[in-house]
Amino acid sequence: MTRSLTIAAALAALAAPAYSDGDAAAGENEFRKCKSCHEIATADETLVRGGKTGPNLYGVVGRTAGTVEGFNYGDDLVRAGEAGLVWDEAQLAAYMEDPRAFLRDYLGDNSARSRMTFRLRKGSEDVAAYLATVGDE
């Protein structure tokens, strides 16, 4: 019986989606650093008023990189999306820490660049956890 429960627990853990160790409540507060360039809005409602320099981050977790319609992304971020980059919490947190290094690593191209020059030195896992809460289920 114990063996069956152990196996069932292991299978449930493997089937669960992978999330970062971030704190969404802390990330909501930390997002204030991001809103000078990014907003979070649905078609009907603005959840966080912010700038238009960066794309709208509503529903970013689960979205293919570089695909918000009407936003002019950098070529390398679009290329990463075309290569299969779909944002999850861990990848988004790594990108926020150092966008250029993330793209260079993801694409295997030491000349890759990101238009996002801001680096979130700490708290990126919290912001990623927060962003995972603002989107369609």
- Residue 13 has a pLDDT of 38
Structure confidence by residue, pLDDT tens digits, 77-118: 999 999 999 999 999 999 999 999 999 999 999 999 999 999
Over residues 33-83, the pLDDT tens digits come to 999 999 999 999 999 999 999 999 999 999 999 999 999 999 999 999 999
Q: Which has the closest alpha carbon to 99: 80, 83, 82, 126?
A: 80
Domains located in the chain, CATH noted = 20-131 (1.10.760.10)
pLDDT at 132 over 80: yes
Q: What is the mean pLDDT of residues 13-20?
A: 41
Q: How much is the average pLDDT of 6-16?
A: 37
pLDDT of residue 21: 82
Phi, psi (rounded to 5 degrees) for 36? -70, -25
Residue with tokens 């196996």: 7
